[in-house]
């Protein structure tokens, strides 16, 4: 009811800053873009909004700048053995939840409302040991309903079954550059060594019918302490995942995803000791 009331107020010109575009859910899987489909246990990482608030002054004095941080969602993923078309493979399962907050002001400041929008989704990728995509499944849930798509990848084509808010459709695509489509999960780092410093790949979006161009580039190394643990590894810049800029992915030498710097003052980070630090990737 609150969503409807705000939309009606916006249409009548009573609300000044109501967003008209649905926010995007962020999915993990960047580790696998860099390392390929290596087994990994079920892992959850919080998404945090972090911003430095400027100093303020009032009758009580001058207040110094402070960091404002609070959770706005999470990501979750695992990579486990599976079978597709009777052949052994790995399945990458990912989940994302995003809970952005908006502050709306009615004209004349007659009323102010804080409103949270929830978007949620899951994806699954069935992958051959070398990173070749066999199947893709996507489910997105927002205020309008649910969208799902199941895509089967052949050598030169993709068979797709859609269900978009209850409307079902089946089609087959013949991409012009299947090599770039299949480059998504080809490893850039193998056994700690960079074998592909940079790659360009395409990701099929079944709900728009388009292929999203992305680039991944090994951009440096990091070394530091977090959760009282020592981490050392490589950071990779990936462009094209978010509309408003690249993300920076930090992967340590044990194969753990440590942190992802996102846009809009957001980041994803470890919440508990990762598998590489407690002797187990299963």
Angle at 101 between CA 95 and CA 103, to 5 degrees: 165
- Angle, alpha carbons 225-194-273 (nearest 5°): 30
Q: Which of 121, 31, 30 is nearest to 74 (CA)?
A: 121
pLDDT tens for the chain, residues 1 to 282: 444 444 434 444 444 454 545 567 788 899 999 999 999 999 999 999 988 777 777 787 787 777 788 888 899 999 999 999 999 999 999 999 887 666 666 566 656 666 666 778 999 999 999 999 999 999 998 878 899 999 999 999 999 999 999 999 999 999 999 999 999 999 999 999 999 999 999 999 999 889 999 999 999 999 999 888 999 999 999 999 988 899 999 999 999 999 999 988 999 999 889 988 876 444
pLDDT of residue 155: 93
CA 269/CA 188 separation, integer angstroms:
22
Handedness of CA 40, 129, 123, 200 (dihedral sign): positive
Is the CB of residue 82 less than 8 Å from the CB of residue 126? yes
Q: Which residue has the tokens 């908006």?
A: 102
Chain position carrying tokens 């051959």 = 128
């Amino acid at each position: 009811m609150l969503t409807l009331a705000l939309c009606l107020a916006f249409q009548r010109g009573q609300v000044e800053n109501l967003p008209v575009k649905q926010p995007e859910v962020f999915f993990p899987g960047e580790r696998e873009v860099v390392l390929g489909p290596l087994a990994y246990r079920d892992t959850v990482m919080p998404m945090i909004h972090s911003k430095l608030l400027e100093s303020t002054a009032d009758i009580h004095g001058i207040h110094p700048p402070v960091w404002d941080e609070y959770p706005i969602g999470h990501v979750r993923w695992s990579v486990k053995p599976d079978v597709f078309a009777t052949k052994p493979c790995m399945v990458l399962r990912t989940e994302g939840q995003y809970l952005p907050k908006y502050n709306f002001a009615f004209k004349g400041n007659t009323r102010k409302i804080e409103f949270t929008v929830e978007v949620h989704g899951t994806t699954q990728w069935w992958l051959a040991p070398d990173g070749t995509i066999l199947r893709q499944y996507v489910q997105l849930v927002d205020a309008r309903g649910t969208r799902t798509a199941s895509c089967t990848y052949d050598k030169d084509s993709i068979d797709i079954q859609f269900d978009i808010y209850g409307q079902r459709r089946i089609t087959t695509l013949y991409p012009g550059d299947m090599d770039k489509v299949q480059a998504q999960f080809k490893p850039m780092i193998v056994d700690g060594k960079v074998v592909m410093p940079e790659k360009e790949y395409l990701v099929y979006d079944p709900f728009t019918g388009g292929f999203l161009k992305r680039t991944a580039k090994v951009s440096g190394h990091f070394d530091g302490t977090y959760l009282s643990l020592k981490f050392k590894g490589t950071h990779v810049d990936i462009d094209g995942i978010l509309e408003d800029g690249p993300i920076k992915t930090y992967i340590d030498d044990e194969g753990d995803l440590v942190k992802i710097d996102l846009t809009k003052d957001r980041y994803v980070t470890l919440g508990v000791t990762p598998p590489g630090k407690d002797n187990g990737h299963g």
